[in-house]
Amino acid sequence: MRVATLLALLGCLLSCGEANSPAPTTAAMSASLAGAPAETIWRGQCVACHGSSGEGNRALEAPALTQLSSAYLSRQLTHFVSGVRGAHPDDAAGKRMALSVASLTPEDIAGLATFLSTELPGTRPTTSLKGDAARGEDYYTNLCSACHGGNALGNDLLGAPALAGVSDWYLLSAYQGFLDGLRGQHPDDTYGAQMARLAPALPNSDHLRDVIAFINTLPPQRP
């Protein structure tokens, strides 16, 4: 896979809470909601960070979710529950996310992923980063489009989530996580491991911002 997927597995999910803040959800709350309808889990466990419409909240480091496919969301939630994500000692945000979903069952995860990708209105986060979109388009076309598509809407068959409509600050943060070794180190994180190996192909933060600036020009799948 190409660096594109790196931007994507950005994946996508999702950490909420500032580095030194307590998580608004707890393992106890997670346990109390396990087995509930997907909308109940969403409103009781996720809205506090990700917003009632899944629009995200940068102050809480919670990205927007509604442009991600149910397959990708399900995989990432499963990774948090199983310890594939959020296990690195320096990944404070990932640990909080893992704690908040620790008691979800596979059935809970499947229902929640479907709810997020189909029932919530599509949202497009506010652009927060600046870059040279024209230069970024060249990088994107050569490094990213083979997996994520020229429209950045992703490809589930390749494990490549959508990038268009994903919070730009989260794309940057997640990519940096791969560069720093916070993600992609678990032996069961197949796609993450690929991203970790490919991350050095685009280590310059200015060039990464250019790529993200170009992605910001592309319309999301769910307007």
Q: Do domains 27-118 and 126-215 have the same CATH topology?
A: yes
Q: Quick check: 215 pLDDT over 80?
A: yes
Report the C-alpha gap between 146 and 122 in whole angstroms: 25
pLDDT-based confidence at residue 161 (cuts at 50, 70, 90): confident
Question: Which residues are paired to 62 by β-bridges?
Answer: 57
Question: Which residues are paired to 108 by β-bridges?
Answer: none
Q: Could you tell me the CA-to-CA distances from 188 to 13, 41, 62 in Å, in that order? A: 17, 27, 24
In the chain, where the domains are located:
27-118, 126-215
pTM of the model: 0.82
Question: Which residues are paired to 160 by β-bridges?
Answer: 155
Q: Residues 126-215: name the CATH superfamily.
A: Cytochrome c-like domain (1.10.760.10)
Token code pair at residue 214? 């170009």
Give the CATH fold of the 27-118 domain: Cytochrome Bc1 Complex; Chain D, domain 2 (1.10.760)
Report the C-alpha gap between 75 and 90 in whole angstroms: 22
Mean pLDDT of the chain: 84
